[in-house]
């Protein structure tokens, strides 16, 4: 248990992950309402929108309006996602309101890379060099390196930990060639193949090879392993997680089968704080945000603590009765 | 990781835990349908009903009919729950169809014991001696000892691991005084206070004191910790779990707030099998049962793998394409 970190850093991705998959269009004002509320919980990082083709992702057609609309809070980093140069240029147009950080991405599954990007690994590596050039031309530093499908792939099966270690090395090398220092490497359980055991194996292998490298886990809860996988990551000393309030992006309805979001932020906050790991987040305020998220999407979301409640009320009542 | 067991034994409690909380009466034939299907999955233990006062629990008024109705399957242990002598006598009436095992129960929280049983600890201990006398008069062995609220309590807060260890000792001592040998000690997270860390602490303390004693975990998923807590238990070498198909007993609807069932059987089977721990259960057959359970109760249930699906279909397709 000695490896449990003292604190964790959470990248809240709910507003971006969650709203883009909804069948109904969410009014821009309600997206902004959730972002503004999230920014008051103690979260230090909120991903607010994707700058993607509105024909491909109609739910993100209002990304510019969302970014213009939220209330800026000092100490909170607001970010956006983009998938190509055009999206990056749109994000740059908001550089006063958004933190613009470069990101590199390799795939642990060649088969998935081909399906998703129509590229072979050499092409993907070349594309990372071009990305850095684009970032550097805009004066943007590369902050994150990311390995997709690091724990398994529908089209390639299990992934060898040693392969992930190699890819981490490649990412660090590509960045170094351009004088960039990656802040953290994200390992993505893109298709929800991970179990706590594979988390420990892969993270353990990467940590052994690169003991000083900060790691992040991007976990999906499609098969109910999200919180258990996060715990396994915490036990391996991982201190950064992507997560989504209320488990946005997922849904317990049969009609949304297979759509399961990131690990749920407030469930992760509950577990962390109860285990003595500081998150900086006010759980009750975050639970209110989770309920707001359900109200906005108009159907149940997968989070558990927003229904079960935290334990603070019991502890407060107990300490009041003991001191009286 | 060396302590992960090679196999686990699951006590399926869905038919008993799940149906008694439903607002609508579930037809007896449909309860039997689920039990019969569960008995074909490889599960070795299914708790089918509670012999409780039908005025207190109307959903269990048909317990005798359910027990008479299911199809007996060799190798599967069918059990029932009772809370007093009257219930025990009803269960005994089905001793040809049910495995009748005695169970003892102490409470880690005095405050909860008073609220739940209106007893102080000395009275609860005395009641266990009377229970054994009742079992022995009927020729029934004591199989399980159980500690309620072993990880925390709404009315008493956190529970010291050393206190749980003392109670385990008391249970073993009470049984031994009557010549009984307890098969396994269950630790109940009755009010869903546990985190993986407290699971490790309490189980660790008990194992240190009683290294040869088989332990079982009874986990609730009220705050989303069920699977993570099960993983922590597995890492501590726990090989027996109570669980409920589809997470029966819980519900993601706001109208069922706070009603969260046992940890979900098929999610636990998925995690175990993926980590190389044998369950003896056919995951796909169990997923079919989980969907049947949703159909029977008429609303979504919390299980995740029944929506996300297992990984076998991908592995099968991959091995077919590789061998062709």
pLDDT at residue A253 tops 60: no
Model-level pTM?
Answer: 0.96
Task: Tell me the CA distances in angstroms from B128 to A121, A278, B143, one per residue in order.
Answer: 66, 42, 13
Residues from chain B contacting residue A227 (CB–CB below 8 Å): 224-225, 227-228
Residues 199-258 of B with CB under 8 A from A: 200, 221-225, 227-228, 230-232, 252-254, 257-258
pLDDT at residue A254, rounded to an integer: 42
Q: What is the mean pLDDT of chain B?
A: 93
CB contact under 8 Å between B271 and A195, yes or no, is: yes
Please name the residues in contact with B199: beta carbons below 8 A apart, sequence gap of 6 or more: B151, B189, B217, B229, B232, B233, B236
If one counts every other C-beta atom within 10 angstroms of the C-beta of residue B141, the result is 15
Give residue-wise pLDDT tens across range A152-189.
Answer: 999 999 999 999 999 999 999 999 999 999 999 999 99
CB contact under 8 Å between B311 and A254, yes or no, is: no
* Of residues B223, B260, B309, nearest to A270 (C-beta): B223
CB contact under 8 Å between B224 and A275, yes or no, is: no
Token pair 């297979």 in the structure block, residue: A258
Q: Which of A13-22, A203-212, A284-293 has the lowest mean pLDDT?
A: A13-22
Question: Which domains does chain B carry?
Answer: 9-323 (3.20.20.70)
> What percent of chain B has pLDDT above 90?
84
The arrangement of strands across the sheet holding A77-82 comes to: A77-82, A45-51, A9-12, A240-243, A214-218, A184-188, A142-148, A102-107
Q: By the CB < 8 Å criterion, does B303 face chain A? A: yes
Burial classification of residue A212, based on how many CB atoms lie within 10 Å of its CB (0-12 exposed, 13-18 middle, 19 or more buried): exposed
Residues from chain B contacting residue A228 (CB–CB below 8 Å): 196, 227-228, 230-231, 271
pLDDT at residue A271 tops 70: yes
pLDDT at residue B85, rounded to an integer: 92
pLDDT at residue B1, rounded to an integer: 45
- Annotated catalytic sites of B, by residue? 251
If one counts every other C-beta atom within 10 angstroms of the C-beta of residue A41, the result is 25
Q: Average pLDDT of A98-116? A: 96
Task: Tell me the CA distances in angstroms from A5 to A2, A57, A238, A279, one per residue in order.
Answer: 8, 37, 7, 11
Q: Which two tokens stand for residue B151?
A: 């990880």
CA proximity to B145, closest of B100, B199, B105: B105
Please name the residues in contact with A253: beta carbons below 8 A apart, sequence gap of 6 or more: A299, A300, B300
Residues from chain A contacting residue B232 (CB–CB below 8 Å): 231
Residues 279-298 of A with CB under 8 A from B: 294
pLDDT at residue B252, rounded to an integer: 53
- Least Cα separation, residue A125 to chain B (angstroms): 26
DSSP, res B57: -
Residues from chain B contacting residue A225 (CB–CB below 8 Å): 227, 267, 270-271, 304
User: Predicted ipTM?
Assistant: 0.95
Give residue-wise pLDDT tens across range B3-28.
Answer: 799 999 999 999 998 887 776 789 99
CB contact under 8 Å between A227 and B222, yes or no, is: no
Residues from chain B contacting residue A304 (CB–CB below 8 Å): 221-225, 260, 302
pLDDT grade for A249, boundaries at 50, 70 and 90 = confident
Alpha helices in A99-214 (DSSP H): 110-117, 121-137, 161-177, 196-209
Alpha helices in chain A (DSSP H): 14-20, 28-38, 63-69, 85-92, 110-117, 121-137, 161-177, 196-209, 226-235, 265-274, 283-297, 305-308, 312-323
Best mutation target among A2, A4, A194, A196 (most B Cβ atoms within 10 Å) is: A196
Q: Average pLDDT of B157-182? A: 97
The C-alpha angle with vertex B198 and arms to B192 and B201, in degrees rounded to 5, equals 145
Q: By the CB < 8 Å criterion, does A318 face chain B? A: yes
């Amino acid at each position: 248990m000695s490896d449990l970190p003292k604190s964790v850093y959470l990248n809240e991705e709910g507003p971006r992950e969650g709203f883009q998959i909804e069948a109904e269009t969410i009014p821009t004002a309600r997206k902004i309402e959730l972002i503004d509320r999230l920014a008051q919980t103690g979260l230090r990082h909120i991903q607010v929108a994707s700058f993607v083709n509105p024909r491909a992702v109609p739910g993100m057609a209002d990304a510019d309006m969302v970014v213009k609309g939220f209330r800026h809070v000092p100490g909170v980093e607001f970010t956006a996602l983009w998938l190509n140069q055009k999206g990056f240029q749109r994000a740059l147009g908001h550089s006063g309101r958004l933190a613009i950080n470069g990101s590199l991405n390799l795939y642990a599954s060649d088969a998935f890379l081909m399906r998703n990007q129509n590229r072979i690994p050499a092409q993907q590596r070349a594309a990372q060099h071009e990305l850095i050039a684009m970032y550097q031309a805009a004066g943007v530093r590369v902050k994150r390196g990311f390995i997709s499908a690091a724990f398994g792939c529908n089209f390639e099966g299990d992934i060898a930990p040693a392969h992930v270690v190699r890819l981490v090395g490649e990412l660090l090398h590509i960045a170094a060639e351009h004088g960039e220092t990656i802040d953290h490497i994200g390992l993505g359980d893109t298709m929800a193949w991970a179990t706590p055991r594979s988390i420990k194996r892969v993270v353990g292998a990467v940590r052994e090879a690169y003991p000083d490298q900060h790691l992040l886990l991007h976990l999906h809860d499609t098969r109910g392993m999200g919180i258990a996988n996060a715990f396994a990551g915490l036990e391996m000393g991982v201190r950064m997680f992507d997560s989504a309030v209320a488990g946005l992006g997922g849904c317990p309805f049969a009609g949304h089968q297979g759509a399961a979001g990131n690990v749920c932020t407030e469930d992760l906050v509950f577990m962390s704080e109860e285990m003595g790991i500081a998150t900086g987040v006010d759980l009750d305020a975050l639970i209110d945000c989770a309920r707001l998220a359900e109200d906005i999407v108009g159907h149940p979301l997968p989070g558990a603590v927003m229904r079960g409640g935290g334990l603070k009320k019991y502890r407060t009542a107990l300490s009041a009765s003991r001191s009286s």
